[in-house]
Structures are given as C-alpha cells and as structure tokens.
Amino acid sequence: MSTNKADVIVVGGGIIGCATSYYLRKRGKSVIVLEASDNIGNGGSSRNGGGVRQSGRDPRELPLAMYGIKELWPELSKELGVDCEYHKDGNLRLGKNEKHKEILQGLTDRAVACGLDVRMIDADEIKEINPYLSDEVTCASWCPTDGHANPMVTTLAFYKKAREIGVRFFTGEKVTKLRKIKGKLREVYTEENVYEGDYVVVAAGYESREILGTVGVDVPMHQELCECLVTEAEPHMFDQMLGTAEADFYGHQSDHGSFVFGGMSGLELNNKDTGPKNSPSNASITSPCICRGIMKYFPALENAKIVRTWAGYLDICQDGVPVLGFVDEVPGLVVACAFSGHGFGIAPAVGEQLAKLIIDGVTSVDISGLRYGRFKAKI
C-alpha cells in the first residue's frame, strides 16, 4: 500500500497535470500522476493550436497569461531540456470591415485596461508585419508579446522532466471516485487500486466533472469539438500567431515549416456523430470550412497541401474561464479544469502557481476570479 502514497495525487496526465507535478516535485513534494488513457497528454494538450497569448483573454485569467509569458515561457525549453519551439513574435487578430474593427477595438480596450501592450494597427502596418496577407485585410489588433509553441512537445517535455526528477506516472489508470477521510480529501480510487495523498489535484479536462461529482463538487461546463489541420512543410513565411475578429481560424507556421490551423464549422454543438469520448473524430464539413477561412485571409496558401487533420474537445466553462484552486467544501482538493480552450498557453503558470498554492497556501498571481465558488443563479 505504501507505494501508492504520495504528498500529492494528480488526476490527469495532460499538460496541467504534468506541469503541476513537475513544479511540486521541483520543490520537494512526492507526486503520483494518474492518467486514464494509454498516452500522456491525450486530450486537449496534444490537440490544440499552440497559442501562447494574452490578447483576447478575459481579465480574470489575464494575470496568469501575462505572468507565464514574462516569467516562465522564455526559459522553459532550457529548463525542461527539450525544445518546445516557443516563439514570442506577436499575435495579429485580423479584420476586413467596420464590424470586425468594432470587435477588435472592444477586445483591445479591455486588454489595455488590464495593462497589456496591445493596440489597433492599420493596413500599412499589417503589411509590414506580415506581407503575405490578403489586401482585403484593413485592420488588426497587434500584441507583440504574444506567441506560440509546440503543444505536443511541451506537454511531453513536462512529463519527461517530471519523471526524470521522480514524479511517478501511471497510464491506463482511470479514476473512478474520490473519498474524504474525517472531512478531508485523502483517497483516490481507480478500477483496481487506491492512492492516498495529503492533496488531490483534479486536472482531467471535461472528465473532471464526473470525478469531482463523487465529493459533491460540480463545475458547470460542457464539451465542444474543435478541429485542427496541418500542411506539409513550406518555406518559412512568418512567425506570428494569427486569429481573426470572427474566429474564422487561428494558427501559425511551425519551426518545421508546416502550418497549423484550427477552427470550427459552427455546427459542433448539434452534430450527431463526433466519435467516442476519448477519441474524438473529425466531421467531414469542418476542415474544408477552416480551409475556406484561411484562404479568405491568405490566398497565397491555396496550394499548400493538407497532410493531416484531427479533432479534440474543449472543456468550456459556463462563464468561459477556468476553475482553479482550493474548494472550501472539500479541504485537500485542488481543482484545475474547464480551461475553455485557453489551457495550453497558461499551463506553465497554472502548474507553478498551483504548486505554490499547495506548498505555501497562497499564489503570487491573483486567481481569485477563477475560484469554484463564483457560480450563482441569475436571480
């Protein structure tokens, strides 16, 4: 039994679980990570578009995004010993008309109010930053400190380094319930085994909901399917992260030369067949829709060949931002889920701050707007 004990049990081997376990172990805690699937980082961690951005983010999660980009991302590849392909070359959010301009201006004003360096730029300045865009692009918001990284490699880099310094990972180990002992969360049950820790971090994406339900905690969230596509390697064109006012697509060119773009068809919530829970399938209508979105802004890419597409679930919170931190009702529990499609970029900051929360009892970045207790009925 003693082999199943650690200071902290982390439920979920995605980038949040891997990063949290790494920072905890680095500060001397013993950690066990339990991953239900056969692969580390098999959910959104490996299926997202790789954005590491602050622009467009909600003021409640912006402090985490800004902290990560300032303090953690620049040295991350060196620290983990793996090239995470991090680029801090800016984010362009593109628009073509007055309606787009209004949307972008609103996002920009809210971000500036939070102290972020982001501004509106005109067609000439856009062309200077990225000469490959369509002439129809007339406005954009520009955040020079945004960027992107390789999500698959970054997730596995956290895993590799955490494992190297002594974190124990179990794959194929599906958690079925949590159990309190004398009012404090202590035990984690899987189909075959029981694990025990002083703290339990639940970072299992949408699946967190069922697990948390076993101790009476319910995070209001739902799943939405999102898809990505990747082209063959192309000559180097640009290093910025891209998006559009109407979210036609988002993406970047990777170090490898391929373009990685993500997007949705708009019919995801009500499509009939999106595949089994742990292996989401592409819908035939979505990648063509993303292609049309890209060509509207990048006619030069029309001959680029798509070599691969994939799908993944976002765990969308009721109010669009994650649920993070302690839960008053269940001492010993730390929740980290409902990332709403923003989890990758803030993952290093979330991991480091949750480790700090568990060890020091407080975070240095304000995450009070992300607490579990924030959900109330409208009247």
Partner 1 sequence: MSEVIDRSIDIGEFIPQPDDDMIICRCEEITKGEIRRAVHDGMWTMTEIRRYLRTGMGLCQGQTCSRLVKGIVARELAINPNELEPATARSPMRPTEMKVLGKEVS
Q: Which is nearer to partner 1, 272 or 305 (CB)?
A: 305
CB of 263 to partner 1, least distance (A): 12
What's the distance, CA 152 to chain centroid?
11
CB of 316 to partner 1, least distance (A): 24
- Residue the block writes with tokens 């948390």: 212
Q: Which is nearer to partner 1, 104 or 229 (CB)?
A: 229
CB of 152 to partner 1, least distance (A): 4
For 93-131, give one letter per residue: b (16+ CB within 10 A) or e. Answer: bbbbeeebbebbeebbebbeebebebebbeeeebeebbe
CB of 8 to partner 1, least distance (A): 16
- Three-class SS state of 59: coil
CB of 107 to partner 1, least distance (A): 27
CB of 307 to partner 1, least distance (A): 5
Report CA-CA distances (Å) from 81 to 44, 148, 176, 261. 23, 18, 34, 27
Cβ-based neighbours of 13, under 8 Å, separated by 6 or more: 33, 34, 35, 37, 40, 41, 42, 159, 169, 171
Q: Which is nearer to partner 1, 113 or 307 (CB)?
A: 307
Encoded tokens for 192: 């075959």
Residue type at 169? F
Which residues of the shown chain bind partner 1 in the complex (CB under 8 A)?
36-42, 46, 152-153, 155-156, 159-160, 163-164, 168-174, 190, 192-193, 231-232, 256, 279, 282, 284-285, 287-288, 291-292, 294-295, 301-310
Q: Which is nearer to partner 1, 15 or 327 (CB)?
A: 15
Q: Which is nearer to partner 1, 113 or 165 (CB)?
A: 165
- Residue the block writes with tokens 């376990």: 21
Q: Which is nearer to partner 1, 42 or 223 (CB)?
A: 42
